[in-house]
Structure 1
């Protein structure tokens, strides 16, 4: 009886039911869209931080920044030998540890032993500045004054004219210098554990990666962008500060551009940077991702003179359109969703209550025939629940379509990592991607394609909102219908 009556009444009031369902659908679709875009923003920011940080890395440990010593020069300097040849090519590499700060390699073991730490790997990052070019020696030539011009070639005080000696002052002609300056970054990684650290965010797309036996081999893996710019391929060789290295693999970053150009075994990089048994960064993975803050405090308390940086710390250094869009989606988008949902629920409740007012005689007749108030209330709530579920289905469809459209268009967002001048590039404390004293800027801009993934949690939320909207509307209408007395209802209906 209940189902038949419910179906008949909904069929009679198709337009009213559709209006209520569409109102709920728009609110639910907006919630799905905003949640999906927010999830896409989070994924994009995670990609940015992983490119800066390392896959699976929860935090990094670096040396605390210290003021440079008085009289010390932090800038690169180059020295060239003077030679007698008229045109001499010169080349010089300046290799410096990133930020000029380094930790003892023994701290890697100490960090790994801290409570809550699952794994710790040390790495060293070098900045290489290469200057190459040539000097051209000038030639001295003396000029002879033409005859008849002696009167106009007067010397200085007490000097005679130039014709008295038969020649002018010697002049240097030609000569000069032409040099190119190129800089690139080198990372020394622990080849026995490549799941953490700079190379973990890239895939080897040509050749192979390091083996455990190549801990001190003169081999290199280079980034795809650096290989393209230098026209290197697997098997190519190049020199860093006079040491020849062979390219064994080309790495492509999972997203954006790599912040590292050349990857070497850790010992080789330490030798190049004159930093034996030193590392610039310790990459740390926690046993529990929910306890990262606790692990950070543990390391800071037990290992002095270090700076511990988590992904949450680095998130604040991400700027650009990604940061702006994320803030809009988080603040404006969510508040707008709440406002639209509240309005949709209110409209559904008012429309349902208005429909009950127009059915006074109907409900009065039902009560006169013996229907108890709970049956009348159940009837109104049942109709509202069907409207809510219909609105939920429409809302999910609209929300999925909007999320698919965002993913298909894939708008490009830019993310700037740790843009700063002077001391602190990239990450706090000269961390991953960071600079330190002596660097003018360590800004790295990445381009991320935005997607809008829809999770099962979001779908469940939409269904819950649909049911909630139906219950709210049905509760108001049912409460009003249950308060009617048969005689009053019939009298009002007549």
Structure 2
């Protein structure tokens, strides 16, 4: 009887039921799209941090930058021989990024801290290579127009030096010194070896290199070939492709060899740290800062706060405007559904009054109204899920491109902030590198469960409005209106 009456009444009032369901569907669909877009932005931000930070890394430890009052850092110098003739000359300068290094013993000190599962040191280097040639000028005698003897009173020819000069180009790239015995932490872990092989654990001081795929394509490097850094030839044993965004460095070489090239014996620029438990990251950070003075500890959460660009802007909009808009639309949809249900009950006063006169209890009338409202809510939920999933699918198919960059407060992996690799100029000025990420809108089971819960909640709210109105009806009032 209950379901028969329910089906008949919903069919008879299908327009009103569709209006209620559509309102709920709009709110639920908006919640699904906003939640899916927010999840996609979190994933995109995670990819950015992985490419900057290294998979499995919870924090980095770098040397604290000296205060400005201590003076500027030493600028790199390029030395050229004074040679005659058109001869090409070249000079390389290999320097730690950020110009700040830590003693290698710092790695052990960090590893000894409570809550640290592992710590690995790395040396991030910038290489500036200047090459070109000097061209000597040519002496051109000046034409004598005085009609006198050859050289005048000085005894030498008159004239001037013409032409000559210098033509030099500057090439810069980044090199990362990797601890080959512990390759489970650090920037190289965010790349995959797509050709050749990775470093072997015994190659702690070998002249071998792994090249980023984009840089290898630009310079036409191949596995089995070689690359020269400051006069030292390295065999290319592998090509690495970054999982997302830009690679952490153009070239990767063993840590000891990197220390030799940059005159940084027993030095590192960054210590990559893995915590025992993700819940202990804040405690480990505090312990390192307290027990190892003169260091800066940066966690992935710190880096996330520094990510800017359109990714950050879109994330802020989804978090603030999008979620508040979803809440406002849901509240409006629930209230409208409740008011429409209550209005429908009012129009059915004669019907319910007659049913009560025939023996229906108030509770049965209320259950009938709540049942109808619940069906409307579930229908609205189904429509909302369908529209929301379609919207998220369209967003993923379009995949709008967002850019992300770490603010100027962060330095590269060898610098003070533990953030993005930067291309440092001769004066140590760092320039941000933007990373482009395609936005997706993944739909999780939790999002669908939330949508179902909202549909049920909407039905219950609407049923509560209608049930309250139905419970106040009196058979005498209803029959008084019967003509």
Alignment TM class, shorter chain as reference: over 0.9
Unaligned runs of 5+ in 1: 151-159
Find the counterpart in structure 2 of residue 353 from structure 1.
342
Find the counterpart in structure 1 of residue 416 from structure 2.
429
Q: How far apart are the structure 1 equivalents of 2:372 and 2:428?
A: 69
Secondary structure at 2:210's aligned position in 1? strand
Q: TM (normalized to structure 1)?
A: 0.93
RMSD: 2.1
TM-superposed deviation, 1:231? 1.1
TM-superposed deviation, 1:172? 1.3
Q: How far apart are the structure 1 equivalents of 2:69 and 2:263?
A: 19
TM-superposed deviation, 1:167? 7.1
Per-residue Cα deviation, 1:257-308 (whole angstroms, up to 9, x for no partner):
2131110111111111111111111111122223321221122122211110
Unaligned runs of 5+ in 2: none
Contact in 1 for aligned 2:198/2:210 (Cα 8 Å): yes
Alignment of 1:46-195 (within 5 A): 46-67=46-67, 73-83=73-83, 85-146=84-145, 148=147, 169-195=158-184
Contact in 2 for aligned 1:220/1:263 (Cα 8 Å): yes
Secondary structure at 2:253's aligned position in 1? strand
Q: How far apart are the structure 2 equivalents of 1:372 and 1:122?
A: 77
Give the one of 374, 391, 394 matched to 1:402. 391
TM-superposed deviation, 1:17? 0.8
> Quick check: 1:455 aligned with 2:444?
yes
Q: How far apart are the structure 1 equivalents of 2:68 and 2:343?
A: 77
Q: Which ranges of 4 or more aligned residues in structure 1 deviate by more than 3 Å?
A: 67-73, 160-168, 424-428, 434-438
Q: How far apart are the structure 1 equivalents of 2:19 and 2:98?
A: 64
Find the counterpart in structure 2 of residue 301 from structure 1.
290
Find the counterpart in structure 2 of residue 323 from structure 1.
312
Secondary structure at 1:128's aligned position in 2? strand
Q: How far apart are the structure 2 equivalents of 1:460 and 1:228?
A: 47
Q: TM (normalized to structure 2)?
A: 0.95
Secondary structure at 1:212's aligned position in 2? coil
Find the counterpart in structure 2 of residue 154 from structure 1.
none
Per-residue Cα deviation, 1:151-177 (whole angstroms, up to 9, x for no partner):
xxxxxxxxx997667975231122211
Distance 1:346 1:242, change over 3 A: same
How many correspondences in the alignment?
Answer: 480
Per-residue Cα deviation, 1:78-119 (whole angstroms, up to 9, x for no partner):
111122x31121111101111111111122122122222222
Q: How far apart are the structure 1 equivalents of 2:431 and 2:284?
A: 28
Find the counterpart in structure 1 of residue 473 from structure 2.
484
Contact in 2 for aligned 1:147/1:163 (Cα 8 Å): no
